[in-house]
Structure 1
Amino acid sequence: MAHHSRLAGFIIDSRTDDLDASANFWGSALGIRVVDPDSGGTGQYAEFGSAPGDLHVEVQKVEHPSRVHLDIETDDIDAEVARLEALGASRVAFVKRWWVMQAPDGQRFCVVPMQTGNGRAEPHRWD
């Protein structure tokens, strides 16, 4: 069955006790502003607005070493994960409603539910 996916954005994983300071640094460095300093109400995420290409960009407080990862959004998580596994990716962990994946080169990324009405490019259709 066909499904759709596209780049959703970039998540800045920050191993920090001060999410506000990390978000302020990255907002200033990237020239974008924090629009929700407590996205989700858990004290774990600070979301930016007005990112180029309407991409989703946020700082996420993490326990692992700091890094940047990307999110791929899709209208069919299972189909997209299977497609990426066929390309050589592997599943790392299911978190809430998305999969953390690992590319063959070791890079981590997430497969997340698709958000609509955000101005991003049309998703790719996979048959």
Structure 2
Amino acid sequence: MHRSRIGVVLIDHPAERFDAAADFWAAAQGTPRQEKRATAEHPYEELRPFEGGVQLALQRTGSGTAPRVHLDIETDDVDAEIARVVGLGAQVVERHESYAILQDPGGHVFCVVPVQTGEDFDRHATTWP
């Protein structure tokens, strides 16, 4: 048995357009950008979370990468969650030590990652057999 949920919605932008996009999305939410800005070494910048603790974040991607939105499914058992979503029709694109990049049957990228949202995960995760 394991648990999972969609924990993070990421808005991905290549480095050359990241700052303008981050300024836009922070203003669109009505909040200032965080002091901790995304860098090549730490490519994530958080925005205000959605209700239910789902995090909204920006990801600084490599030069030339197309802008996109992708989801992170967080789980307390990465291998079990990968197996579950592959059984539903997903395909593994890249497997890393602690997470995986996958595609849904329509070709959209998403990730399966360890728990990132702490107590929000415990309150909102679905338990799978």
**TM, length-normalised to structure 1:** 0.84
Q: Secondary structure of 1:92's match?
A: strand
Gaps of 5+ in 2: none
2:38–2:60 Cα contact (<8 Å) kept: no
Post-superposition shift, 1:50? 4.1
Point out the structure with the larger strand share: 1
Contact 2:40–2:60 (8 Å) recurs in 1: no
Would you tell me which structure has more helix in proportion to its own residues?
2
Equivalent pairs: percent with the same residue?
A: 36
Return the offset for 1:13: 0.6
Between 1:54-63 and 1:100-109, the stretch displaced more is 54-63
Supply the RMSD in Å over aligned alpha carbons. Answer: 2.3
Which range moves more in the overlay, 56-65 or 73-82?
56-65
CA displacement at 1:62 relative to structure 2? 1.2
TM-score by length of 2: 0.83
Aligned-pair CA distance for 1:30: 3.1
Q: Indicate the residue corresponding to 1:122 in structure 2.
A: 124
Cα distance change of structure 1 residues 47 and 95 upon mapping to structure 2, 3 Å threshold: farther
Structure 1 CA distance for aligned equivalents of residues 110 and 49 of structure 2: 22
Distance 1:20 1:103, change over 3 A: same
Q: How many residues are matched?
A: 126
- 1:72 maps to 2:73: yes
Post-superposition offset of 1:32: 4.2
Question: Counterpart in 2 of 1:97?
Answer: 98
* Structure 1: runs of 5 or more not aligned: none
CA contact (8 A) 1:53 1:120 kept: no
